[in-house]
Structure 1
Amino acid sequence: MRVQIRALMLAAAVVMAAASPSAAQPGSGGPGWGPGMMMGPGMMGGRGFGFLCNPRMAGFAEWRMSQIEAAIKPTEAQRARLDELKAASAKAAELITKDCPATPPVKATDRLALVEQRLDAMQQAIKTVRPAFQALYDSLDDKQKAAMDASGPRNWGWRHWHWPWSDE
């Protein structure tokens, strides 16, 4: 009799475990928050090619410029260089968004050509920003350079973030 009770309790435990939902399963987090949520057509704000026309891909967005300004606390002489960097960044953003298609091309060969075109635009945008950034950086004292260097992605709230291609 005692063996039958144990067997019955074991069977009930197995049935309960199999019938109850697992905590590791995706819940109702909203549309697009299920398996494969980081892939597919919803990626990058609804456009898989959205990052190619994003003005934040080159130069410095306004939020980043304000972060830099707060970190280095520029002198009056450095403020002119900071303004040059802001102007170069705005020009870079314009280069990135110029000639962006509303939707990606249908043909695979055309999509590849678009990627090549957009990467060329990003490279031009970076070449626009780099001299102004270098001029500002060269005008900083050691304390300001340390503050600028410390204000990178690691301090944006991602504690263990690293560049995918780094050896860290």
Structure 2
Amino acid sequence: GYGWVGPLFWPFAYNDIYDYAIWGDDIGFWGYGYPDIYAGIFGPYGYDDLRGYLPERRTGRRYRGGGRIEQMCGNDSRSVAGLPVDQIADTVQPTEAQSAALGELGNASLAAAQVIRAACPAQVVLTAPNRLAAMQQRIEAMVTAVGIVKPPLDKFYGLLDDEQKARLNALAENQRKEAAARDPNATVAQSCGAAQPAMQEWPTGEIEARLQLSDTQRGALQVLQDASADAARKLKAACQTNEAMTPPARLAFVAKRLDVMLQAVKDVRAALQNFYATLSDEQKAQFEAIGPKRSA
């Protein structure tokens, strides 16, 4: 996955959902997990890096970089965000009733994409608690989007006969084989359940040196670290390494994964807010400087 791009978490969120659910393309969706929570805590971007995502100056001149947050949130038009209804129809040759159900699925797909796009951040955030808040909002929108798509997908798939289901499932299987041929080392287990790299180990010594914590603050930091470690364990355990063969089954795995990720973000965010509340303004500034320094 792309992780965080400037102030935006999961820039291709809806595409990753339906690429996996419909086509079985699992690397994009399953590449997200604990490292993104870590990046929310220790944001890799400093203020200078984020200036290009800020709104235009009143003079009409843009900040260096010229990027706007809303431009990164994706296109939710039917031609871009809608499911490939024509390709599915060509594959299964639907009856009239099935065509109507496929149309309902296409409309639901568009509505789901619009929900996710609406959850894009309206402004750049510069603190860890606000980054996790933005992350939570993004995942909540993804959960809602899956809830929109699931009933019409189940309905459409349920109307197909066994031969039509086999053709649709074979289409996804062929795409997975092509992807595996291009990158045989790219697996769900590798991207989702990989061991935590050293870059994501907690910089406890640096925090102590920079912030000069009191005993109370040190205790709050330990709670945060424990919550973070628990989130990493739960997300690793929620990796889907067995290949699901049908679109409804894959979407069900998407829903389960997002639920686990959302709860993990909520748990870490609560502990982070408690720790952050114990810090002085100077300590907060020192804490926020850790991520950009380590990224550099």
- TM exceeding 0.5: yes
* Segment of structure 1 superposing worse, 140-149 or 44-53: 44-53
Aligned equivalents of 1:104 and 1:72: distance in 2? 45
Measured after TM superposition, the shift of residue 45 of structure 1 is: 9.8
Whose RCO is larger (CA < 8 A, sep 6+)? 2
Length, aligned pairs only: 127
Aligned equivalents of 2:12 and 2:141: distance in 1? 9
Tell me what 1:163 maps to.
188
Tell me what 2:109 maps to.
89
Residues 72 and 162 (structure 1), Cα distance of their counterparts in 2 relative to 1, 3 Å cut: farther
Please list the CA deviations of residues 29-86 of structure 1 after superposition, one character each: whole Å capped at 9, or x if unmatched: xxxxxxxxx9xxxx57954735256442445743633332222121111100001001
Tell me what 1:151 maps to.
171
Question: Are residues 1:125 and 2:145 paired?
Answer: yes
Q: Give yes or no for contact 1:54–1:96 (8 Å, CA) kept in 2.
A: yes
Matched position secondary structure for 2:188: coil
Aligned equivalents of 1:58 and 1:155: distance in 2? 16
Aligned equivalents of 1:47 and 1:106: distance in 2? 10
Matched position secondary structure for 2:147: helix
Tell me what 1:78 maps to.
98
* Alignment TM-score, normalising by the size of structure 1: 0.62
Aligned equivalents of 2:102 and 2:172: distance in 1? 17
Tell me what 1:19 maps to.
none
Measured after TM superposition, the shift of residue 104 of structure 1 is: 4.6
Aligned equivalents of 1:140 and 1:103: distance in 2? 45
2:141 maps to a residue whose letter is A
Tell me what 2:8 maps to.
49
Measured after TM superposition, the shift of residue 103 of structure 1 is: 5.4
Aligned equivalents of 1:46 and 1:105: distance in 2? 13
Residues 53 and 101 (structure 1), Cα distance of their counterparts in 2 relative to 1, 3 Å cut: farther
Residues 167 and 86 (structure 1), Cα distance of their counterparts in 2 relative to 1, 3 Å cut: closer
Structure number with higher helix proportion: 2
Measured after TM superposition, the shift of residue 118 of structure 1 is: 0.8
Q: Give yes or no for contact 1:96–1:122 (8 Å, CA) kept in 2.
A: yes
Question: Are residues 1:99 and 2:124 paired?
Answer: no
Residues 153 and 62 (structure 1), Cα distance of their counterparts in 2 relative to 1, 3 Å cut: farther
Aligned equivalents of 2:12 and 2:129: distance in 1? 19
Residues 99 and 129 (structure 1), Cα distance of their counterparts in 2 relative to 1, 3 Å cut: same
Unaligned 5+ runs, structure 2: 20-80, 190-238, 244-296
Unaligned 5+ runs, structure 1: 1-37
Residues 57 and 149 (structure 1), Cα distance of their counterparts in 2 relative to 1, 3 Å cut: same
Aligned equivalents of 2:90 and 2:4: distance in 1? 29
Please list the CA deviations of residues 95-138 of structure 1 after superposition, one character each: whole Å capped at 9, or x if unmatched: 00013125552111111111111111000000000000000000
- Structure with the greater alpha carbon radius of gyration: 1
